[in-house]
């Protein structure tokens, strides 16, 4: 039996009486439940739930790739399942401390979390949306909202949840499970399955699935079900948000960013037909677009579609990317079957999304293995998987933290023999110079490069140390022999880097209760739960001295980016994210590091296209090339942050309006839609 713990010092006698009255009467639920957390077919964690009358205790533990939340929650519920007291403690994804509280008493709801604190008058208890949650919370929200009139409910701190019942399926062991979809909490829906007694059976997700212990064999079926449900949803959005124009049309009165020389030229009219740029002519020659349907750019800037060179594609990421003007991505690791199917859907235009270049994820077996792509147990197994990736159209191999460094030379030889490149993390217990000598063509993440200058022998980067050790960069001398030697090595061997500075900024500098510079330009446009999620501390054991060290070290990181650029190392702007907003921030960070806006923009357009061998069709705005165009409201050469406000996105034969996409996704648009006329009078 669980012993319910109430911190008496927090309550007066009257408060305790009110709380016990709210908890009295009939039990909500009783018993225990254990669920398994699965990723890429392997168990990576658990959820233990104990119900005692109106009290619930939840333990949630995930260890995937050396990281994952470890949470404990104690919840007190009233008869309607509404919380009156909620205590959460533990560690977040990368080990940041969590202490979150919520209570309702005497008509007032009070809360405090990493993100914020506040109170609001609430005549009766309602749902509180936690900032750090477990799968049990997700299921509880669904069950409670489903019981409300219209299956909708306003929640604290803000927002409204809605739930719909989708279908019932039969599973092994004579279990029938009903699928519910909830929207309103975050950027994507939540899918939860309950049995006939409304007991939690599973919580579905794109990269992680939580399922009742003993039913792990249903993983494949439930993963497929999740894919079918989300596929149907995003296909419907594509039909609604993708537009096509028959015949020739024009974008008139636009300035062009020339990604070959970094200048802004115009104004011009651009004629497109069948997804190809047919003509670029000065506005003074207006006769060339007479009688054509047109978009009026109103003096805005046309740039080539942006690239994210470090993506992990999801079903819903396509619309987020397109709305941000990102029309080209490189997927750096995924569920292989999912990615192959997704690209086929994109090619048939049944899904919205950028073009995708596939990289094959290759990880070694260890207690810290990341569950993506293939996890291999031997050198021969690794070589077999390299051949599989080649046969299935992958462009590069991406090596991860737990790979045995001794296997890397054979992996790179096999990949190069097959015409593939090799990129990746620096495996634990080796260094960047050794991996370049072993055949790497590129390095993923600037911290993976810098850790070679910061770590002591034997330190293990399969753990969160690959983040926390970055605070040591505050004392790094960029003129030291070890730094200059590695950068010269990269320049001499033509080794590129995909820095993902934006994700390092987010992890190193995000602080509880504040909005980071990375998120400030867009965050107040987002749903409330996402806003709160972004206001958190990721690094553990944060003191004023450690905070200063991280901030100084991030400045040093930007100085390394500048040094790399100055010495001719190619920068490939990637994000390790899928929202598109982080692509904008990555480019901004290059400018903060010392690149000009034009140089930063070239890295994300022609530079990336040329690196992947696609520059004959992409990367610049020229007659005969694909219509891969993004219309910005402003001039990015004056202010690089103008990339944050696309008004029109053209990807081959398809036309998208970012404002329309954002409204469909529950986001306040950032710029007005561009006007369209069927012809010019």
Q: What share of the chain has pLDDT > 70, as a percent? A: 95
Last residue of a domain, one of 240, 264, 295: 240
Query: What percent helix, strand, coil does the chain show, rounded to 5?
Result: 35, 30, 40
Q: Are the CB atoms for 403 and 374 separated by under 8 Å?
A: no
- Tokens representing 626? 């694909």
Same domain, 48 and 157: yes
- Tokens representing 225? 């079900």
Does 568 map to a domain? yes
Number of residues in the chain: 681
Last residue of a domain, one of 573, 597, 616: 616
Q: CA 658, 664, 670 angle in degrees (round to 5)?
A: 40
Same domain, 322 and 426: yes
Query: Which residues, at least 6 apart from 422, have a Cβ–Cβ distance to it below 8 Å?
Result: 396, 397, 398, 399, 411, 412, 415, 416, 439, 440, 441, 442
Q: DSSP readout, 170-215?
A: EETTTEEEEEEEEESSSSS-EEEEE-TT--EEEEE-SS-EEEETT-
- Tokens representing 180? 């519910």
Q: DSSP readout, 558-589?
A: HHHHHHHHHTTPPB----S-SSSHHHHHHHHH
Same domain, 507 and 598: yes
| DSSP 3-state of 632 | strand
Same domain, 253 and 230: no
Strands (E), 241-325: 249-258, 263-273, 276-282, 294-296, 301-304, 306-311
Does 1 map to a domain? no
- Torsion sign across C-alpha atoms 617, 618, 620, 624: positive
Q: Are the CB atoms for 462 and 402 separated by under 8 Å?
A: yes
Q: Give the helix/strand (H/E) hosting 45.
A: strand 42-52
Q: For the segment 640-657, what is each residue's pLDDT rounded down to a tens digit?
A: 999 999 999 999 999 999
Q: What is the rounded CA–CA span in Å between residue 182 and residue 165?
A: 9
- Torsion sign across C-alpha atoms 394, 400, 403, 406: positive
Mean pLDDT of the chain: 91
Highest mean pLDDT of the ranges 93-107, 147-161, 338-352, 437-451 = 437-451
The closest alpha carbon to 627, from 605, 651, 649, belongs to 651
CA distances from 161 to 141, 158, 387, 639, 655 (A): 8, 10, 47, 38, 31
Q: For the segment 295-327, what is each residue's pLDDT rounded down to a tens digit?
A: 999 999 999 999 999 999 998 899 999 999 999
Average pLDDT estimate for 571-590: 96
Does 3 map to a domain? no
Q: Are the CB atoms for 363 and 66 separated by under 8 Å?
A: no
Q: For the segment 176-234, what is each residue's pLDDT rounded down to a tens digit?
A: 999 999 998 888 899 999 999 999 999 998 778 999 999 999 998 999 899 899 989 99
Q: What is the rounded CA–CA span in Å between residue 263 and residue 303?
A: 11
Q: What is the rounded CA–CA span in Å between residue 279 and residue 290?
A: 13
Q: How many helices (H) and strands (E) does the chain have?
A: 18, 31
Q: For the segment 252-273, what is each residue's pLDDT rounded down to a tens digit?
A: 999 999 999 999 999 999 999 9
The pTM of this model reads 0.84
Q: What is the CATH number of the domain that holds 547?
A: 3.20.20.140
Same domain, 282 and 370: no
How high is the pLDDT of residue 29? 43
User: What's the total number of domains in the chain?
Assistant: 3
Judge if the upstream peptide bond of residue 324 is cis by omega within 30 degrees of 0: no
CA distances from 577 to 209, 351, 402, 441, 501 (A): 20, 19, 22, 22, 12
Average pLDDT estimate for 544-565: 97
Does 2 map to a domain? no
Q: Is the pLDDT confidence value at 114 over 90? A: no
Last residue of a domain, one of 188, 222, 240: 240
CA distances from 635 to 64, 106, 161, 541, 638 (A): 43, 54, 39, 42, 6
Q: Are the CB atoms for 211 and 218 separated by under 8 Å?
A: yes
Q: Is the pLDDT confidence value at 7 over 60? A: no
- Torsion sign across C-alpha atoms 70, 75, 79, 81: negative
Q: What is the rounded CA–CA span in Å between residue 399 and residue 405?
A: 10
pLDDT category at 30 given cuts 50, 70, 90 is low
- Tokens representing 411? 């992996």
Where b means 16+ CB within 10 Å and e means fewer, 62-90 reads: bbbbbbbbbbbbbbbbbeebbbbbbbbeb
pLDDT category at 68 given cuts 50, 70, 90 is confident
Q: Are the CB atoms for 262 and 286 separated by under 8 Å?
A: no
Q: CA 414, 420, 426 angle in degrees (round to 5)?
A: 80
Q: Are the CB atoms for 306 and 326 separated by under 8 Å?
A: yes
Query: Which residues, at least 6 apart from 104, have a Cβ–Cβ distance to it below 8 Å?
Result: 82, 83, 84, 85, 110, 122, 125
How high is the pLDDT of residue 468? 94
Q: Are the CB atoms for 20 and 85 separated by under 8 Å?
A: no
Same domain, 216 and 262: no
Average pLDDT estimate for 377-395: 97
Q: Is the pLDDT confidence value at 409 over 80? A: yes
Same domain, 232 and 352: no
Does 462 map to a domain? yes
Same domain, 346 and 219: no
Does 482 map to a domain? yes
Same domain, 609 and 667: no
How high is the pLDDT of residue 627? 97
pLDDT category at 171 given cuts 50, 70, 90 is confident
Q: What is the rounded CA–CA span in Å between residue 470 and residue 556?
A: 10
Per the model's pLDDT, the better-predicted residue between 80 and 620 turns out to be 620
Highest mean pLDDT of the ranges 158-162, 514-518, 594-598 = 594-598
Same domain, 523 and 404: yes
Q: What is the rounded CA–CA span in Å between residue 335 and residue 373?
A: 5
Q: What is the CATH number of the domain that holds 637?
A: 2.30.40.10
Same domain, 457 and 501: yes
How high is the pLDDT of residue 316? 87
The range of the structural domain enclosing residue 651 comes to 242-304+619-681
Same domain, 390 and 472: yes
Does 153 map to a domain? yes
Q: What is the rounded CA–CA span in Å between residue 382 and residue 585?
A: 35
Average pLDDT estimate for 472-485: 97
Q: What is the rounded CA–CA span in Å between residue 433 and residue 450?
A: 11
């Amino acid at each position: 039996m669980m012993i319910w713990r109430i911190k008496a010092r927090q309550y007066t006698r009257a408060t305790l009486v009110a709380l016990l009255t709210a908890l009295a009467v009939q039990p909500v639920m009783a018993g225990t439940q254990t669920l398994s957390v699965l990723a890429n077919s392997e168990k990576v964690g658990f959820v233990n739930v104990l119900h005692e009358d109106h009290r619930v205790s939840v333990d949630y533990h995930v260890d995937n790739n050396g990281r994952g939340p470890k949470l404990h929650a104690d919840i007190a519920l009233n008869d309607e399942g509404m919380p009156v007291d909620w205590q959460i403690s533990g560690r977040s994804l990368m080990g940041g401390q969590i202490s979150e509280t919520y209570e309702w008493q005497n008509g007032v709801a009070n809360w405090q979390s990493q993100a914020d604190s506040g109170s609001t008058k609430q005549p009766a208890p309602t749902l509180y949306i936690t900032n750090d949650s477990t799968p049990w919370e997700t299921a509880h929200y669904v069950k409670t909202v489903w019981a409300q009139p219209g299956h909708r409910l306003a929640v604290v701190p803000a927002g409204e949840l809605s739930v719909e019942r989708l279908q019932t399926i039969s599973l092994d062991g004579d279990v029938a499970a009903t699928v519910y979809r909830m929207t309103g909490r975050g950027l994507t829906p939540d899918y939860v399955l309950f049995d006939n007694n409304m007991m939690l059976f599973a919580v579905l997700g794109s990269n992680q699935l939580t399922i009742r212990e003993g039913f792990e064999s249903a993983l494949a079926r439930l993963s497929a079900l999740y894919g079918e449900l989300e596929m149907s949803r995003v296909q419907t959005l594509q039909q609604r948000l993708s537009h096509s124009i028959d015949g020739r049309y024009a974008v008139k009165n636009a300035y062009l960013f020339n990604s070959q020389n970094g200048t802004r030229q115009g104004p011009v009219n651009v004629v497109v037909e069948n997804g190809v740029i047919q003509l670029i002519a000065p506005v003074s020659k207006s006769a060339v677009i007479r009688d054509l349907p047109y978009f009026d750019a109103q003096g805005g800037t046309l740039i080539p579609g942006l690239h994210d060179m470090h993506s992990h594609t999801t079903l819903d990421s396509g619309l987020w990317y397109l709305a941000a003007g990102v029309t080209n991505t490189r997927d750096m690791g995924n569920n292989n079957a999912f990615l192959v199917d997704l690209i086929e859907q994109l090619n048939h235009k049944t899904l919205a999304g950028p073009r995708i270049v596939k990289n094959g994820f290759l990880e070694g077996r260890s207690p810290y293995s990341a569950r993506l792509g293939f996890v291999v147990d031997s050198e021969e197994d690794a070589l077999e998987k390299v051949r599989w990736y080649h046969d299935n159209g992958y462009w590069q191999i991406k090596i991860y933290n737990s790979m045995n460094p001794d296997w890397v030379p054979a992996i790179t030889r096999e990949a190069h023999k097959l015409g593939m490149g090799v990129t990746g993390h620096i495996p634990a217990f080796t260094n960047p110079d050794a991996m370049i000598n072993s055949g790497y063509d590129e390095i993923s993440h600037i911290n993976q490069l810098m850790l070679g200058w910061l770590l002591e022998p034997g330190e293990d980067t399969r753990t969160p140390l690959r983040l926390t050790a970055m605070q040591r960069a505050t004392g790094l001398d960029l003129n030291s022999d070890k730094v200059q030697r590695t950068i010269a090595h990269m320049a001499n061997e033509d080794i590129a880097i995909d820095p993902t500075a934006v994700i390092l900024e987010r992890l190193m500098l995000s602080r509880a209760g504040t909005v980071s510079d990375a998120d400030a330009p867009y965050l107040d446009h987002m749903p409330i739960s996402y806003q709160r999620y972004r206001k958190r501390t990721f690094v553990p054991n944060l003191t004023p001295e450690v905070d200063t060290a991280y901030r100084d070290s991030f400045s040093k990181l930007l100085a390394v980016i500048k040094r790399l650029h100055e010495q001719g190392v190619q920068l490939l702007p990637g994000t390790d994210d899928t929202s598109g907003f982080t692509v904008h921030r990555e480019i901004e960070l290059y400018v903060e590091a010392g690149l000009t806006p034009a140089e930063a923009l070239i890295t994300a357009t022609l530079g990336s296209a040329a690196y992947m061998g696609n520059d004959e069709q992409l990367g610049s705005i020229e007659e005969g090339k694909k219509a891969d165009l993004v219309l910005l409201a402003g001039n990015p050469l004056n202010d690089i942050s103008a990339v944050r406000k696309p008004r029109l996105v053209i990807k081959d034969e398809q036309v998208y309006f970012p404002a329309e996409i954002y409204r469909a996704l529950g986001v306040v648009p950032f710029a007005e839609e561009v006007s369209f006329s069927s012809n010019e009078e």
